[in-house]
Structure 1
Amino acid sequence: MDVRRLRMLLELARLGSMHEVADALGTTTSSVSQGIAALARDVRRPLVEPDGRRVRLTPAGRRLADHAVTILAAVDSARLDLDPGAEPVGVLRAAGFASAIRTSLLPAVDDLRASHPGIDVRILEHEPPESFDLLARDEVDLALVYDYDLAPAEWRDDHQVTALWTREWGVGVPTRDRGLAMADLADRDWIVNSRHFADERALRSLAARAGFAPRVVHRIDSLELVDDLVVAGRGVGLLPRGRASRRGVSVLRLGDGGVHLRAYAVTRCGRDSWPPLRAVVRRLSAA
């Protein structure tokens, strides 16, 4: 089987549209259609069927797409791992959220500068949904992402996930309110992340435990701006404990186990044998 056609099938399983597959792979819809048809001839089974104006995979198509994850990972591994003992050299593209870049990636890059000077790490600051999208399109090699124990991430079959660290979060309130409990905040305006919905899901779980539904008013990406809104009395929101918040902000510790942010390093299956990526992920994991 032609691995390019397998990649088309796998993208079709993910996107559900030959037009979107063509856009993702930088080709034409006609080429995708012809590639899927040729693959069907190879396996002597119909792989797609009409679904309104779109198409969907047949049961045989879904089974082959499942196999394609393993096959393509093995092909990528063979391509990247021709000389696993070689000195790691190359440009590694990493996307991640700001806290993981500061806490994990920058120290790792500093440590590796002396031992592996040939690794050139290029850093992009993104929230997890954006990093996952870049990883799926092969525009980055490494994604530093997070979830919450109350809002766990959904991993793709081709994700290789390495747990990095966990941090407790609480509710940021004006210092004058530092004696309040979660239930006392039912009538407050709430601040959530503007670029990732995990903290809103975690917040709603916490609020449900306390017997109310939060009134989400502000959507803010910057923790420093969340501090500013809290000090100004514009709302309250989840913030990490142990962080140096702005003067006038206190972070309440939550009962019933609270909520914890969990950081991960994510690569595509089969890619971690590439020496630069392997060296960086090992250093992140060791830390």
Structure 2
Amino acid sequence: MFDLRRLRLLHELSVRGTLAAVADALSYSPSTISQQLALLEKEAGVPLLEPDGRRVRLTAQGAALAAHAARMLAADEAARAELEHMRPSLAPVRVAVMQSAAHGLLPGALDALAESEPQLRIEVAELAPEEGLFEVAARGFDLVVAEQYPGHTREHREGLERSLLGRDAIRLAVSSDDPAQNLEDLRERAWVMEPVGTAARQWATQQCRAAGFEPDVRFEMADLTAHARLVASGHAVGMIPDLVFAGETPPVRLVGLPGQPRREVFTAVRRGTADRPGVRAVRGALQVAYDRGGR
């Protein structure tokens, strides 16, 4: 019989690509992982890894077993979810949240859980949506709160199930004394945007280009509350989703964008864990927080 823990290591390697990345994710040493994979090769009776420069890669047999490992791990999670239904205690839920959700949804969701499931342990880390979705697929977390900008669909990872929380308006943000009335008025201004490569940056840049100019991005940062402070001080303009302000009075003046765009805010979990009572409770609490205005 295959050892499920070793199968997970093989699956992690197929997802993360290097032994070092697997070691970082699972808090093992690379040598320990190598030893366990060597034992898995003995169990399989075929070579699972082969040299690739200074690294290793999966052989055809290794890739085939890694695909089976993913299904075995999903079955294991489904079995644990069913058992969790049959006992009063709840397993901890590991949650990855994007930054605006950490500000706008997390406090309200924790308030709701304190009332409905006071014994449930929640472990939260702030991750960019791209990273959070990857980590849930790789079993680093149980649930992620992520977003999708208009016209910029995110990859649908195999085995993940999404649930829409709501649609969050995105507006131009300028200082309170700024006279700008539309996007075209900001062609000569300094901009603050999220880092290159993020869906938010790509989307915001496209809005400026559609208005006939290339944005002068002088400030690049992931922290949207920092965006708001820069804009409020008059040093930049930007595009900020409503969720960032968590139902409070914004420190900036907000101006509508053409077409009144909204991003989709959603949760994603692995299908094998979607029915876990703890995961369902967290999803429900996040929905309550969103419906109450976030926050």
TM-score, reference length from structure 2: 0.77
> 2:257 aligns to what SS in structure 1?
coil
- The offset of 1:45, in angstroms, is 4.6
Q: Judge conservation of contact 1:207–1:213 (CA < 8 Å) in 2.
A: yes
Residue 177 (structure 2) pairs with residue 172 (structure 1): no
**Structure 2 residues without counterparts, runs of 5 or longer:** none
**Superposition RMSD in Å:** 3.4
Q: Judge conservation of contact 2:49–2:57 (CA < 8 Å) in 1.
A: yes
**Structure 1 residues without counterparts, runs of 5 or longer:** none
**Corresponding residue number in structure 2 for 1:271:** 273
> In the aligned structure 1, how far is the partner of 2:281 from the partner of 2:192?
38
- Could you say if the C-alpha distance between residues 92 and 6 of structure 1 is closer, same or farther in structure 2, counting changes exceeding 3 Å? closer
Q: How does 1:101-180 map to 2 (within 5 A)?
A: 101=102, 103-128=104-129, 131=132, 135=136, 140-174=141-175, 175-180=177-182
**Corresponding residue number in structure 2 for 1:57:** 58
**Corresponding residue number in structure 1 for 2:256:** 253
> In the aligned structure 2, how far is the partner of 1:140 from the partner of 1:281?
14
> In the aligned structure 2, how far is the partner of 1:199 from the partner of 1:113?
33
> In the aligned structure 2, how far is the partner of 1:22 from the partner of 1:232?
43
Q: Judge conservation of contact 1:129–1:196 (CA < 8 Å) in 2.
A: no
- The offset of 1:260, in angstroms, is 2.4
- Could you say if the C-alpha distance between residues 100 and 88 of structure 1 is closer, same or farther in structure 2, counting changes exceeding 3 Å? farther
> In the aligned structure 2, how far is the partner of 1:139 from the partner of 1:67?
19
> In the aligned structure 2, how far is the partner of 1:15 from the partner of 1:115?
36
Q: Point out the more displaced range, 27-36 or 69-78.
A: 27-36
- The offset of 1:41, in angstroms, is 5.0
- Could you say if the C-alpha distance between residues 158 and 97 of structure 1 is closer, same or farther in structure 2, counting changes exceeding 3 Å? same
Q: Point out the more displaced range, 270-279 or 199-208.
A: 270-279
> In the aligned structure 1, how far is the partner of 2:214 from the partner of 2:109?
41
- Could you say if the C-alpha distance between residues 176 and 102 of structure 1 is closer, same or farther in structure 2, counting changes exceeding 3 Å? closer
Q: Judge conservation of contact 1:127–1:195 (CA < 8 Å) in 2.
A: no
**Corresponding residue number in structure 1 for 2:3:** 2
Q: Judge conservation of contact 1:189–1:235 (CA < 8 Å) in 2.
A: yes
State the AA in 1 paired with 2:255. L
> 2:10 aligns to what SS in structure 1?
helix
Q: Judge conservation of contact 2:137–2:157 (CA < 8 Å) in 1.
A: no
Q: Judge conservation of contact 1:240–1:251 (CA < 8 Å) in 2.
A: no
Q: How does 1:190-209 map to 2 (within 5 A)?
A: 190-193=191-194, 197-209=198-210
